[in-house]
Amino acid sequence: MNLKELSNRLNLSQTTVSRALNGYPEVSAKTRQRVVDMARDLGYAPNQQAQRLATGKTMSIGHVLPRSPNEMLNPIFMEFIAGAGLTYAQYGYDMMISVVANDDEEAIYREIANRKKVDGIIVHAPRRQETRHKLLKKLNIPFLMHGRITGAEAETSWVDINNRRAFERATQFLLDLGHRRIGFLNGNEEMEFAIRRKEGYINALTKAGCEIDPTLMHSSEMTEPLGTEFALNLLRSSNPPTAFLTSSITLAIGAETAVKSNGLQVGNDVSIITHDDVISFLPNSGESPHFTCIRSSVGEAGQRAAEILITDIIDQESNDRHVTHMMEADLILGQSTGPALQNRG
């Protein structure tokens, strides 16, 4: 069933039928009703490809998911696109995902832009050495970054957490509890987000006049076993920390395992505070959650990002106007933190 057949049945022109279906005002209420009814009865729906070609809009947004063999798949990504997908559905947009080897990423962006596959792109996980935004500008395709680029904050639209402040607050919180040696299990510090988090950690320590001890800091993929490994190393050292700050729930779970396997109690002997991205299969919820955390929903970030990008695409005028959205993280008190014990270690 296509437009031609439908309009034949109705004894109307394709023009009128199209207008009726698309809500144009110049169609009589009566005709519109007739058209809508018949379309429903016959199960007509416009062919998407024809519509795209005719309008020049694909009504779809692209996400590129780089996957190198030795790098983990980020659960954050999934949560983010689930949020974004919700918004897309609301606005009638589709979501296209390209899974690609890391080194092909630029080629993929070129192809997407050249072949006009989508109306806009969301760029994930900006790195310290970021170039994708320059490429996409050159390719002249609307895009939004999930995460700022240091030094280029005003050059793109972005949605980001205030990572620095969140981690400064978390560290400050531990300092207030009397902790002075705080282990820091961070994500890969090639990533923008991890760089900012480290700054926050260091800022708080500096302000409190604490010494910065590099041996207390670790940077790695955010997996549970690595969390255990690093936390164990620290706990077994000659001058172990009394608290841990971790960049993800998985690292926190790993750290907890390490603490317990050392015969210590979390919250009592050793405190743990973690960043919580609100990953749905790693719940840390309830009245008093298991982990004290700085919490910011990445699913929500996805929703906001999608909204901003779509709005940007619709208001074409905003050609060089960038929209940025900073999300603050809440500090949620859980059961994994407590005052520092004196004279341990």
Select 76 or 166, whichever has its Cβ closest to a second copy. 76
Nearest-5° Cα angle at 201, 199 to 204: 105
Select 15 or 265, whichever has its Cβ closest to DNA. 15
Question: Can you tell me whether residue 156 is helix, strand or coil?
Answer: coil
Tokens 């933190």, located at residue = 337
Of a second copy, DNA, none, which one does residue 95 interact with (CB within 5 to 8 Å by kind)? a second copy
Shortest separation between residue 324's beta carbon and DNA, angstroms:
30
Of a second copy, DNA, none, which one does residue 65 interact with (CB within 5 to 8 Å by kind)? a second copy
Select 46 or 178, whichever has its Cβ closest to a second copy. 46
Of a second copy, DNA, none, which one does residue 261 interact with (CB within 5 to 8 Å by kind)? a second copy
Count H helices, E strands: the chain? 12, 12
Determine contact, residues 303/86, Cβ cutoff 8 Å. yes
Shortest separation between residue 203's beta carbon and a second copy, angstroms:
29
Select 114 or 150, whichever has its Cβ closest to DNA. 114
In this structure, which amino acid lies at residue 68?
S
Identify the CA nearest to 216 among candidates 257, 245, 259. Answer: 245
Rounded to 5 degrees, what are φ and ψ at 60?
A: -150, 155
Q: What is the enclosing helix (H) or strand (E) of 186? A: strand 182-186
Q: What is the enclosing helix (H) or strand (E) of 5? A: helix 3-10
Rounded to 5 degrees, what are φ and ψ at 55?
A: -90, -20
Distance (Å, rounded) from C-alpha 49 to C-alpha 59? 11
Select 19 or 198, whichever has its Cβ closest to DNA. 19
Residue 289 has, within 13 A of its CA and on its CB side, a CA count of 19
Shortest separation between residue 140's beta carbon and a second copy, angstroms:
12
- Token digits of residue 282: 């790693």
Beta-carbon contacts of 275 under 8 Å, excluding residues fewer than 6 positions away, are: 166, 167, 170, 197, 246, 247, 248, 249, 293, 294, 295, 296, 329
Q: Which residues bind a second copy (CB under 8 A)?
A: 43-50, 52-53, 58, 60, 65, 67, 72-75, 77-79, 81-82, 84-86, 88-89, 94-100, 111, 114-117, 221-225, 250, 253, 256-257, 260-261, 279-283, 290
Of DNA, a second copy, none, which one does residue 224 interact with (CB within 5 to 8 Å by kind)? a second copy
Rounded to 5 degrees, what are φ and ψ at 150?
A: -60, 130
Of a second copy, DNA, none, which one does residue 13 interact with (CB within 5 to 8 Å by kind)? DNA
| Sign of CA pseudo-dihedral 308, 309, 315, 316 | positive
Shortest separation between residue 194's beta carbon and DNA, angstroms:
41
Q: Which residues bind DNA (CB under 7 A)?
A: 2-4, 11-16, 18-19, 21-22, 25-28, 30-31, 44, 46-47, 50-51, 53-56
Select 30 or 321, whichever has its Cβ closest to DNA. 30
Shortest separation between residue 42's beta carbon and DNA, angstroms:
11
Of DNA, a second copy, none, which one does residue 68 interact with (CB within 5 to 8 Å by kind)? none
- Token digits of residue 132: 């994708």
Shortest separation between residue 177's beta carbon and a second copy, angstroms:
24
Shortest separation between residue 97's beta carbon and DNA, angstroms:
24
Shortest separation between residue 110's beta carbon and DNA, angstroms:
15
Select 18 or 297, whichever has its Cβ closest to DNA. 18
